[in-house]
Structure 1
């Protein structure tokens, strides 16, 4: 007895601090290693690898819960550990294993809540491995896994809750197969023992089959309950047009952005997905199974990666597929991290306004068109937002005539449509000849001095050929004088 107490004293006061210090040192060195090229590559892959390792750890815990310990281990537990602690460790070990199977999905999607859950459960399972069966190998493996989770903490920055995640049918099937394998392993491990009803109520150190039966039953019941809850929980509402309040919030966020294309949200024909703190949003539409977001997330850039993930998951939860249309090269890492692939469909043209002018031989065609339009009596007027109502019917006639002459119809989504409410929210440029309006274009711009672009451009059939050239040149010269950086085409 005195020898056992002395060994325990030495372990607690000497070996335990030494082990913890060693683990902290190893974790610190591994964390420093992530600054190297190889370390950065490992960091990018860490969510997938850690999700796999955590899933394997869950399988390991479930398997160890239905296999008997050795006679020597049972004797040691009987001498030094209370039976109640052995029973509790066995039951909690099985539930921890099941929870790790679920948490692995959150790690795959970089959820910070999943990281915290995996870290806590991993070290908890490592502690439970000792009273459960003095499983030093299991405890060591779990401690190593917990250390890896700690090292790659920075890769799990998506703020979300585990309760909000939806387990895909494939994930539910995988968990179901693991639980089924656990039940099969239970019967295989105790195939020499005849089943009796009283096995359920036997509590003894050598009652391995009883503990395994109880743990397996609880795990199976909990897993079945989670599966039914996931299958029958409301999927949430499908995409709906924004309310007046949400559209006003989106307009306020857009006003503080550099990209003028974000003004297309003012059309009100696209659904909106806001970040949790409502400082950023994604505008999107649906076509068949495709949920198509227009452009990059608008708003606080720090909220964009999580918003991309939420959009992908929301589309998947409704049986759809997420698509992002007209994104910028700088934002590609957000979409690649979410498991999407990039396809180049075209390019966007921008004209720097800082050095724009009509001088020089290369600009001669533009200069001639502009001078010809001036000789024909064309003039440009820019109506500020909210003042287009006085000429809206004239603009409607021009728009309808242009559509009929071009034999096209309104497109919408990534292009504006002739909607008086939409035109009232933005500046509108009109071209007059002898006082009569012959062409117009609405202007997309935010409150920043970064970019301006045009959306609708429509003219009467009998307008001079140089009308549109004149309109574009005058707009560029006007916004150049205002200090705008570039003009989007």
Structure 2
């Protein structure tokens, strides 16, 4: 199945989803329709099948997969809610009777002309310089043999987030597994001790490049660790001719009335705006966006949630349940 998924990610409509490589994670189930090309990725949470993106399918199979997946859920007495749909998915799901709202956005930097010169990047340069002065060294490494170092950083990072915080799944990347050969891992060390890492996933389609995916740091480490690791990776990606560095999906950010589609729920739009302003306990959207904005992203990609029937809080809550956030 991994070869089938990789083919879908590279060649079909969902290739335009910068987070498409998350389909390769083993935290998702795969729905197929016999005699039809394409797959739907999902995870069950309570009475819902939480779908990741739209169908990974050629255009002539897309509608059939949507209908078949809804029937699959209905046969089990379940409902469908989809998250991280792209604009082309959103338009199709409206036609299939879903209520579709913007839920956030993903962000990207064009690499060919990127540099850190100028006053807008002065604070970012200072943070990077501070980390390097404190002895940080960054190198690209193979994930194999680094399990203990990664695990130590992960444990410390997670502990710093609070007593009952659990690692997110489903809409975030991972390290390891059969798909690791396609990812890239950059590790920061000080005095040969691992202190931070960033894992990058490939992005295909018309905005191909890499996605700044899973990232962790020691909470008591030097300021500027993540910035310095990412800056080092950018230089390598630029040297290889990569076009884009994507920063992935952040809920509640980049919200715009102009991005909403006919039939959207005004109440849900209000909720997204409220969670942007007051929802840090649910998800630290403002902190996440502040990091991304340091790099001067020039591309904002709206992302959507699709509710079978009317938008509802239970459907929305089960997205977070599927992500292991509670």
TM-score (norm 1): 0.46
Are residues 1:402 and 2:160 paired?
A: no
Q: In the TM superposition, what are the counterparts of 1:146-161 in structure 2 within 5 Å?
A: none
- Give runs of ≥4 in structure 1 deviating > 3 Å: 255-260, 275-279, 422-425, 446-449
Where structure 1 has 5 or more consecutive residues not aligned to the other structure, the ranges are 1-245
Which of 407, 411, 425 aligns to 2:168? It is 411
- Please state which structure has a larger fraction of its residues in helix: 1
Is this contact kept in 2: 1:267–1:422, CA < 8 A?
no
Q: In the TM superposition, what are the counterparts of 1:327-366 in structure 2 within 5 Å?
A: 327-366=85-124
Are residues 1:427 and 2:174 paired?
A: no
Partner residue, 2:144: 389
- Give the drift of 1:447: 6.0
Are residues 1:455 and 2:213 paired?
A: yes
Distance 1:286 1:265, change over 3 A: same
Rounded to whole Å, the distance in 2 between the matches of 1:476 and 1:341 is 38
- Give the drift of 1:305: 2.6
Rounded to whole Å, the distance in 1 between the matches of 2:193 and 2:33 is 46
Where structure 2 has 5 or more consecutive residues not aligned to the other structure, the ranges are 248-326
Distance 1:400 1:296, change over 3 A: same
Distance 1:347 1:396, change over 3 A: same
**3-state SS of paired residue (2:19):** helix
Rounded to whole Å, the distance in 2 between the matches of 1:279 and 1:478 is 36
Is this contact kept in 2: 1:353–1:487, CA < 8 A?
yes
Rounded to whole Å, the distance in 2 between the matches of 1:423 and 1:392 is 16
- Give the drift of 1:430: 0.9
Partner residue, 2:22: 264
Partner residue, 2:40: 282
Which of 436, 453, 475 aligns to 2:233? It is 475
Which of 291, 296, 314 aligns to 2:49? It is 291
**3-state SS of paired residue (2:101):** coil
**3-state SS of paired residue (2:159):** helix
- Give the drift of 1:275: 4.9
Are residues 1:485 and 2:243 paired?
A: yes
Is this contact kept in 2: 1:259–1:451, CA < 8 A?
no
Rounded to whole Å, the distance in 1 between the matches of 2:194 and 2:59 is 41
Is this contact kept in 1: 2:203–2:211, CA < 8 A?
no
Say which structure, 1 or 2, has more relative contact order (CA 8 Å, 6+ apart). Answer: 2
- Give the drift of 1:334: 1.4
Rounded to whole Å, the distance in 1 between the matches of 2:65 and 2:167 is 30
Which of 194, 198, 203 aligns to 1:441? It is 198
- Give the drift of 1:339: 0.9
Is this contact kept in 1: 2:209–2:245, CA < 8 A?
yes
- Give the drift of 1:485: 2.3
- Give the drift of 1:297: 2.2
Question: 1:199-254 CA distances to partner (integer Å, 9 max, x unpaired)?
Answer: xxxxxxxxxxxxxxxxxxxxxxxxxxxxxxxxxxxxxxxxxxxxxxx234223433
Distance 1:487 1:437, change over 3 A: same
- Give the drift of 1:277: 5.0
Partner residue, 1:216: none
Rounded to whole Å, the distance in 2 between the matches of 1:428 and 1:363 is 25
Q: In the TM superposition, what are the counterparts of 1:18-97 in structure 2 within 5 Å?
A: none
Distance 1:275 1:482, change over 3 A: farther
Aligned residues: 240
- Give the drift of 1:273: 1.6
Question: 1:343-384 CA distances to partner (integer Å, 9 max, x unpaired)?
Answer: 22222222222322101111111222222222223222223x
Rounded to whole Å, the distance in 1 between the matches of 2:49 and 2:18 is 22
**3-state SS of paired residue (1:367):** helix
TM-score (norm 2): 0.67
Is this contact kept in 2: 1:388–1:423, CA < 8 A?
no
**3-state SS of paired residue (1:389):** coil
Question: 1:229-287 CA distances to partner (integer Å, 9 max, x unpaired)?
Answer: xxxxxxxxxxxxxxxxx234223433443544122122211111235456422210111
Distance 1:427 1:278, change over 3 A: farther
